[in-house]
Amino acid sequence: MKKQTLLTLFALLCLWPAAADEGMWLPSLISARIDDMRAKGFRLTAEEIYSINRASMKDAVVLFDGGCTGELVSAEGLLLTNHHCGYDAIQRHSTVEHDYLTHGFWARSRAEELPNKGLNVRFLVRMEEVTDRIAAGETPEEIIARAEAEGAGYKASVEQMYYGDQQFLFIYEQFDDVRLVAAPPSSIGKFGGDTDNWIWPRHTGDFSIFRIYASKENKPAAYSPDNVPYRPKKHFTISTRGFREGDFTMIYGFPGNTQEYILSDAAEYIATQSDPAKIAIRDGRLDIIARAQESDPALRIHYAAKHAAIANAWKKWQGEVLGLNRMKTVAAKQEQEQAFARENPRGEELLREMKAEYARITTPYFAREITLETLRALPAKYSAEERAETVFPARRETERALFRWLFGEYARRCPVQYQVPAFLDGAAANGSPEAFAEKVFEEVWAGGETPLADSLRSGSKRMLDHISWLLGTDRLRNLISNRLNTLYREYVHELRETWPERPFYPDANLTLRVAYGAIAGYEYADGEYHKPQTTLDGIIAKDNPEIYDYDIPQSLRDLYASKEYGRWGVEVDGRRTVPVCFLASNHTTGGNSGSPVLNADGELIGINFDRTWRSTMSDIAFDPAICRNIAVDIRYVLFVVDRIGGAGYLLKEMRIK
């Protein structure tokens, strides 16, 4: 009996972070992980990853545009990130006459590089724990003000780890002159579109190239023609030697949001209530937009970024639900909670308090999610250009259909006690939510005064504020409240005290992290093993000129036919081809898009851009057997730059092995 109990406890402990390749580790504390990293093949030191006294890897990594990651690959500020991270910038420069989304963009000189208003990158200067300073009475605002006064262009934030059990100061240097250098055609950079999104095998050349500019003193500066390419402290060497399954990999980036320590109550809410509702709402939005895009090339460009933004989370949520159900995550977490209650003297009472708080907040939080997905997803006004029938003759009906759909979904799904009074009155007076939507839409589209829309927007804002008041916080990316956050702080602290042998890592919060693992395929289904590498042959197999997302450039077809791949060709199973994408077991999430994938020597071998569909639940529960990140092979990036873009001059800036 005792032996069985110990085995059960061990099995449960294996579900707590961090097992196998799980984990998103703070770089300033990476020395605690370096022995494990080196045991798995890493050949560098902790100080080469993170140092404030010398140039280190952190100085070659940036937070790109506030939500992605980028990496420096030259001594002249050249930066790689994902195509989808640069998508908004590429779209803003695109017109029907100069359709950079479809045809790509390749600056032939520095003078042709395109500035991007509002786009910035941030380098981490340093991070330090300030838990004791705050406990001693210093406020986060005071700490931030002192930090930002240290240097021009410095931005700082104090971020909570383990729900505030520890707090860290992050100091960044922000550069605001970031210019577009190159982007492949969308048929490469977004190859497969939404159909292939989150899917393996993958054949997407998801990259774009920017350059950071600075003052002549190499300091942050607003855009100016007099600015010069930034000279980084560190940039990555690129390895084209290839790799084998099992080789060490490391990701250095800014993961956005995970919830690894949530109770079964929250996991059940996500799997059975939140995700299914949001998926259904976005089903309708995507269907309406897709029909418009198919009808008009101008509308295809106009809605491209919006469609991609809506579809990304929509498909992720579907995989998340499947993964949570497959892993039986709710039941597994319930078992974990029972083990904690047995092992920790405070455990049973603490869990009871947390579950009571979940019962109190779930309905208003769900109302908040539905409101954001419906009423708050609609535009408050349209520009004169958007309303011009000669420019977008079918856009009016598309926008009308979106209003009707989202008003109807709000009425059907938002708990009535949290519906905006102006909405309830308007729907009743007009006979239905859809009829009221028509009236509001015509008012907004007219471009004049919008009293109905204004009352809905102000009413929904008041309702959202009321829900935030009920929950005691406006930091509501996840199902949480101020009270629950306090309880989680104690809960995670007690977890770490109860099982000190387990290496717990803080949830992702868009701060710089290290994740490491290996090149790895996985068993997708019984008897079906997915290899970790794809090649150009797979692109050709999917090529279809009749489908926009699969219509590759003719130049790529010609190169495949001639096999003139230059230095980028490799031998695979006796055939000459080009590597395209690969899988690894690194723990990633949103924000890791664009992150450098590094080998055991810290050399760049790929750019992270996605996870497999069956991995999307890794924000909540990581399964080392199947959780895989997807990266574009750096050899394919260089091949496209050189042979498709004809921009081989860019390669001369890079250090390539």
CB distance 400 to 392 below 8 Å: no
- Cα distance between residue 557 and residue 553, in whole Å: 7
Annotated catalytic residue, options 56, 65, 74, 84: 84
Q: Are 402 and 444 in contact (CB under 8 A)?
A: no
Q: Which of 21, 176, 206, 633 is catalytic?
A: 206
Active site residue 587: no
In angstroms, rounded to a whole number, what is the distance separating the alpha carbons of residues 140 and 146? 10
| First-residue to last-residue Cα distance in the chain | 58
In Å, how far from its chain's centre is CA 557?
Answer: 32
Q: Which residues are CB-contacts of 657 (< 8 A; sequence separation ≥ 6)? A: 237, 238, 239, 240, 241, 603
Do the Cβ atoms of 77 and 231 come closer than 8 Å? yes
Residue 91 structure tokens = 């779209």
Residue 171: strand pairing partners: 126, 156
What burial class does residue 638 get, using C-beta atoms within 10 Å of its C-beta: 0-12 exposed, 13-18 middle, 19+ buried?
A: buried
d(CA 540, CA 552): 8
Angle at 150 between CA 81 and CA 510, to 5 degrees: 35
Instruction: Specify the 3-state DSSP secondary structure of 347.
Output: helix
Question: Which residue from 620, 625, 619, 630 is spatially nearest to 595, judged by alpha carbons?
Answer: 630
Quickly list H helices, 223-346: 264-269, 275-295, 297-302, 304-326, 329-343
Residue type, 371: T
The residue annotated as part of the active site, out of 28, 56, 460, 593, is 593
Q: Which of 587, 592, 593, 565 is nearest to 578 (CA)?
A: 565
206 counts as catalytic: yes
Q: What is the dihedral of CA 404, 406, 408, 412, to 10 degrees?
A: 180
CA distances from 123 to 155, 206, 234, 258 (A): 10, 22, 11, 22
Query: Distance (Å, rounded) from C-alpha 184 to C-alpha 567?
Result: 19
Decide: helix, strand or coil at residue 335.
helix
Angle of helix 347-373 versus helix 329-343 axis, rounded to 10: 150
Query: Which residues are catalytically annotated?
Result: 84, 206, 593
